[in-house]
Amino acid sequence: MERIRNCFEKLLSKGEKPLIVYATACDPSCSESLEIFRLILKYADMVEIGMPFSDPLADGPTIQKAHERALSSGANTQKVFELVKKIREFESEKPIILMGYYNPIFVYGEDKFIRDAFNAGVDGFIVPDLPPEEGEDFARKVKSMKLSPIFLAAPTSTDERVRKIGEVTGEFIYYVSVTGITGEREELAYKEIEKDIERIKRITGKKTVVGFGISRGKHIREMYNTPDGFVVGSAVVKRIEKGNFEELESLLRELKEVTKPC
């Protein structure tokens, strides 16, 4: 939790917002994935590492295909932890958040999963299919290890549900900007998103980052003032799929620039 807290404090003191970048572990292979995260971490303030799973329901086609490629390369939970350990050999400060579905955690064993993640150097978890009502025990165990459980809120979340999310989440809430799956969008409903994030922050007092659909600098500029950070995933994964790392670096550079004050 401390690395996440320090990241927010350091950036906000400079008027910056965290750029949080998602990529799937072991896509297209575990060795190539390490080099991809090395590139991502030149620009990202935090990383979300996707845990490959055969049925990623919240994800659109781009990230679904990344899960398939990773599983074909032999990815499993243990290899995700090994990847995190290797990242920690060259990056000791930036937060690493695992994003994955509950089934692999259940199969691995909750307690062992949390302990092994802690030992690998993980700072928090996003489990899209674990609702706050059913995730209280998991969140308690995660917090007892001084790690951060991060729960999702959406445009459809009622005030009552938002309060519940605020009670169980860790350092921040992940706001899903659209009702649907991950994927690039041409435009977003900026004013509505900002208004809803203001509601969530008012109810919970928690920092709130926004993701789903954010894929270009324009999206960040249009709603820069309200969210506490920005998550970019599908746009990054699409460039990984293409193997175009010059284009990937150009995108990362652009996104990081717009998270800084004008």
Residue 59 — very low, low, confident or very high, per pLDDT cuts 50/70/90? Answer: confident
Active site residue 241: no
Q: Is 27 a catalytic residue?
A: no
| Whether the predicted pLDDT of 58 surpasses 70 | no
The tally of CA atoms less than 13 A away on the side-chain side of residue 87 is: 35
DSSP-derived letter for residue 24 is E
Share of residues in the chain with pLDDT > 70 (%): 96
**Confidence (pTM):** 0.94
Of the given ranges (45-59, 102-116, 181-195), which has the lowest mean pLDDT? 181-195
Task: Say if residues 74 and 25 touch (Cβ distance below 8 Å).
Answer: no
What pLDDT sits at residue 212? 85
* Confidence bin at 179 (pLDDT 50/70/90): low
Per-residue pLDDT at 183 exceeds 50? no
For residues 219-235, average pLDDT? 93
| Sign, CA torsion 154/157/161/163 | positive
Confidence of residue 184 (pLDDT cuts 50, 70, 90): very low
Mean pLDDT of 2-10: 96
Query: Which residue among the candidates 45, 59, 123, 196 is catalytic per the annotation?
Result: 59
Cα 192 to chain centroid distance, Å, stands at 22
Q: What is the pLDDT of residue 130?
A: 95
pLDDT band at 170 (very low <50, low <70, confident <90, very high): very high
Q: For residue range 62-120, list pLDDT tens digits in order.
A: 889 999 999 999 999 999 999 999 999 999 999 999 999 999 999 999 999 999 999 99
User: What's the chain's average pLDDT?
Assistant: 93
Predicted local confidence at residue 185, as pLDDT:
52
Token look-up 């706050």 returns 132
Q: What is the pLDDT of residue 110?
A: 97
If you average pLDDT over residues 4-27, what whole number do you get? 96
Q: Taking the alpha carbons of 96, 89, 236, 23 in that order, is the dihedral positive or negative?
A: negative
Is the pLDDT at 182 greater than 90? The verdict is no
Active-site position among 16, 27, 45, 48: 48
* DSSP codes of every residue in 172-240: EEEEESSSS-----S---HHHHHHHHHHHHHHH--EEEEESS--SHHHHHHTTTS-SEEEE-HHHHHHH
Higher local confidence (pLDDT), 212 or 31: 31
Q: Is the pLDDT of residue 181 over 70?
A: no
Q: How many Cβ atoms from other residues are within 10 Å of residue 207's Cβ? A: 19
